[in-house]
Amino acid sequence: MQESSRKKTPLYDEHVRRGARIVEFSGWMMPVQYSGIVDEHHTVRKAVGVFDISHMGQLHVCGENARDWLNYMLTNNVERMDAGESQYTFLLNEEGGVIDDLIVYHYGDGQYLLVVNASMTPKDFEWMQAHLRPGVELENRSAHYAGLAVQGPKSIQLFDLFFGAGISRPARNEIKQVKRDGKTMVVSSTGYTGESGFEIFFPAEFAAELWNEILERGTGLGIKPCGLGARDTLRLEMCYPLNGSDLSPARTPLEAGLSIFVDLAKGDFIGKKPLEKQRQDGVKERLVPFKMKEKSPPPRAHYPVFKDGEKIGEIASGTLSPTLNIGIGMVYVPAKYARINEEIEIDIRGNRFSATIEKKPLHK
Amino acid sequence: MNVPDDLQYTATHEWIRMEGEDARVGITDHAQAELTDIVYVELPKVGAVVAPKQAVAVVESVKAASDIYSPIGGTITEVNHALDSNPALVNTDPYGEGWLFRVRMEAGEEIELLKDPSAYRKQIDNAGEASL
């Protein structure tokens, strides 16, 4: 990749200054770790950690037809969201395959914010632009926004330390626009770790100042800056999907086991027909979590998966779970094997290791 | 980075300590730092006959699996089973408790040109040097 095409978040210099290990992640120069993936993972599970999520895309949608249009573009029911609420949802192609998974925030007055995956932002924007209707305005504001995810049980105390007593934490699926120190920011209780936490989005020029202030205020709580490595192990223990690994244009949300974020009872939306058919016929394959039965090398993406000597799939996501201290992952398997406690085998460099299909989530 | 003066090194970041006919092999301090938290080590079998520069072990961090090469050809005589239960020894004591395996040279076997400490130091000081 050319140096010029490697994008940096407004916090890049802070990451370097604080000694992060930087890697290229879908075109972005991002911290993969600070103190270490395992240490950061435990910090988020036991105390509090902060992640730079400025690379994520922010698409702004408004206009008199914004709601109806979004309901046609997305799988979940936008009408069920009151002003000040958020919703996890999918952007599908005509075949019902996943272009992206995202969170839509409803500000009210026909104004919506879509927070999308960094790698998919241009594609999502292009797709939505191609389907635009009169009475809808779509704007890619990704470059103007920075974001932080503050995650962990002690994020509750940190919220109060950071925002002061006057502002209460947003409820689950609630968003708040907060003016703090003259700076307007959007605050939600979302996250990607399975812990309590909050995410804040704000104009990019405040990024370094707010990042450092969060770290300073959280010092007494044991806060640590965290990278994408821990973000991945944390989300995988919760079986939260990662687009590009667990989701793809060739897989539907039903196959991914995420049908609760698809409203087939609402009006027409892109990808609805194939999903209705799939609902009727049943899915051929399903994404299931698994756990190694014994100590093994960490299972990793693309390792072959066997059942009764026959190859039935490849690992979609895999890692060593720092919390459980055993290999975990997710894999698409034929629907007949998608049962809890079903035994499968993972081929790791020619050796077979037993694993069992588990219930979501793998942690807690 | 710690590069002890009494060891020899490879371009692929293994260290070698000659102990009679055997060479004790591990990975360098630089390598363990690059790999980060080591969570699993797959060791060769004792008695296995290996060729020089053959991948014989795998060291795994949360993010990646990395091959470890035998610097010389010969027979594996001993492996460090302490790593089965505590792979992090490779991080905490790469030149001591975190050693990986011992390999016995075949009689008359040529040893590939290994790096001395100063040559290895030069290699890792080289900016942009690729990790394992």
Tens-digit pLDDT string for chain A (364 aa): 444 578 999 999 999 999 999 999 989 999 999 999 999 999 999 999 999 999 999 999 999 999 999 999 999 999 999 999 999 999 999 999 999 999 999 999 899 999 999 999 999 999 999 999 999 999 999 999 999 999 999 999 999 999 998 899 999 889 999 998 888 999 999 999 999 999 999 999 999 999 999 999 999 999 999 999 999 999 999 999 999 999 999 999 999 999 999 999 999 999 999 999 999 999 999 999 999 999 999 999 999 999 999 999 999 999 999 999 999 999 999 999 999 999 999 999 999 999 999 999 999 8
What are the start and end residues of each CATH 2.40.30.110 domain in chain A?
Answer: 284-357
- pLDDT, greater one: B108 or B113: B113
**What interface predicted TM-score (ipTM) does this complex get?**
0.85
> Quick one: closest CA in A to B43, which residue?
A297
CB contact under 8 A, B40 and A229: no
Residues 164-183 of A with CB under 8 A from B: none
CB contact under 8 A, A38 and B39: yes
Q: By C-alpha distance, which of A145, A140, A158 is closest to A52?
A: A145
Enumerate chain B positions whose Cβ falls within 8 A of a Cβ in A.
36-37, 39-40, 42, 58, 60-63, 65
- Provide the pLDDT for residue B112: 65
CB contact under 8 A, B60 and A39: no
CB contact under 8 A, B62 and A298: yes
CATH tag, A284-357:
2.40.30.110
Of the pLDDT bands very low, low, confident and very high (cuts 50, 70, 90), residue B131 is: very low
CB contact under 8 A, B58 and A349: yes
Q: Which residue in B37, B42, B60 is closest to A36 by CB distance?
A: B37
Q: Which of A3, A38, A42 to mutate to test the interface with B (most CBs of B within 10 A)?
A: A38
Residue B126 has pLDDT above 90, yes or no: no
Residues 12-71 of A with CB under 8 A from B: 21, 32-33, 36-39
- Provide the pLDDT for residue A21: 96
Chain B residues touching residue A21 (CB < 8 angstroms): 36
Question: Which domains does chain B carry?
Answer: 8-125 (2.40.50.100)
For chain B, the residue count is 132
Residues A198-224: pLDDT tens digits?
A: 999 999 999 999 999 999 999 999 999
* Positions of E strands within A26-81: 28-33, 49-52, 57-62
* Positions of E strands within chain A: 7-8, 21-25, 28-33, 49-52, 57-62, 85-92, 98-108, 111-116, 137-140, 145-151, 175-180, 183-188, 197-203, 224-226, 285-292, 304-307, 310-321, 326-334, 343-348, 351-357
Structure tokens at B85: 């239960």
CATH architecture of A3-55+143-237: 2-Layer Sandwich (3.30)
DSSP string spanning chain B? ----TT-EE-TTSEEEEEETTEEEEEE-HHHHHHH-SEEEEEPPPTT-EE-TT-EEEEEEESS-EEEEE-SS-EEEEEE-THHHH-TTHHHH-TTTTT--EEEEEPTTPPPP-PBPHHHHHHHHHSTT----
Q: Which residue in A21, A37, A349 is closest to B62 by CB distance?
A: A37
CA A30: distance to chain centroid? 16
Q: What are phi and psi of A98, to 5 degrees?
A: -85, 120
In the A/B pair of chains, how many CB contacts fall below 8 A?
Answer: 37
- Provide the pLDDT for residue B3: 95
Residue B132 has pLDDT above 70, yes or no: no
Chain A residues touching residue B58 (CB < 8 angstroms): 297, 349
Cα-Cα-Cα-Cα torsion A256, A172, A360, A25, nearest 10 degrees, comes to 60
Q: Which of B62, B90, B91 to mutate to test the interface with A (most CBs of A within 10 A)?
A: B62
Pairing of strands A28-33, A7-8: parallel
Pairing of strands A21-25, A28-33: antiparallel
- Supply the pTM of this predicted model: 0.94
Cα-Cα-Cα-Cα torsion A242, A246, A249, A250, nearest 10 degrees, comes to 180
Query: What is the C-alpha separation between B109 and A262, in angstroms, rounded?
Result: 66
DSSP string spanning A241-262? --BTTTB-TTS-TTTTT-GGG-
Q: CB-based contact (8 Å) between A297 and chain B? A: yes
Q: Which of A23, A302, A328, A348 to mutate to test the interface with B (most CBs of B within 10 A)?
A: A348
Q: CB-based contact (8 Å) between A320 and chain B? A: yes
Q: What is the mean pLDDT of residues B55-64?
A: 95
CB contact under 8 A, B60 and A297: yes
Q: CB-based contact (8 Å) between A326 and chain B? A: no
> Are A276 and A283 within 8 A, CB to CB?
no
∠ CA A235-A240-A244 to the nearest 5 degrees?
95
Q: Which residue in B37, B42, B58 is closest to A37 by CB distance?
A: B37
What are the start and end residues of each CATH 3.30.1360.120 domain in chain A?
Answer: 3-55+143-237
